[in-house]
Amino acid sequence: MLPFDGRRSSIQIVSDTLRLLRLGDAGKTEIMYTVKLSYYQTQRYLSWLSDINLIHQSARENRSPSYAITGKGLELLSEIEAVEEMLHVRDLRDIPAAPRMAVRDGLGRRILKRLGDTLRDR
């Protein structure tokens, strides 16, 4: 079951970040404001996502570094979007009255397990 309490999970923050970077490179400030993170959260997530090779940092001449999604990041985002499609929601925040959601079929459970395994294998 997926709990819903109105706050974003780490998976939602990761998917929001990867979706932004799928559109093209972005700087730290753009990521922070678009994904709606604090400076500290942005630092932590970008460092973590870089460490597990979901994004990479590149230097830009006379500018601060930019970040881009990797092939592994695109694969993970695809898995996350498959789960969202299976649950018939784009974002769990779109369901304000849902205290819990259950994935009842075997395919949904397998996808959620693979998603969790992918994040653990960092």
Question: 115: domain CATH number?
Answer: 1.10.10.10
Question: If we measure between CA atoms, which residue out of 60, 5, 76 comes closest to residue 27?
Answer: 60
Query: Which domain does 18 fall in, by range?
Result: 2-120
pLDDT tens digits, 74-97:
999 999 988 888 877 655 444 443
pLDDT tens digits, 9-38:
888 899 999 999 999 899 999 999 999 999
Entry pTM: 0.69
Q: What domain count does the chain have?
A: 1
* Locus of tokens 């992918």: 118
Buried b (16+ CB within 10 A) or exposed e, 16-44: bbbebbeeebbebeebbeebebeeeebee
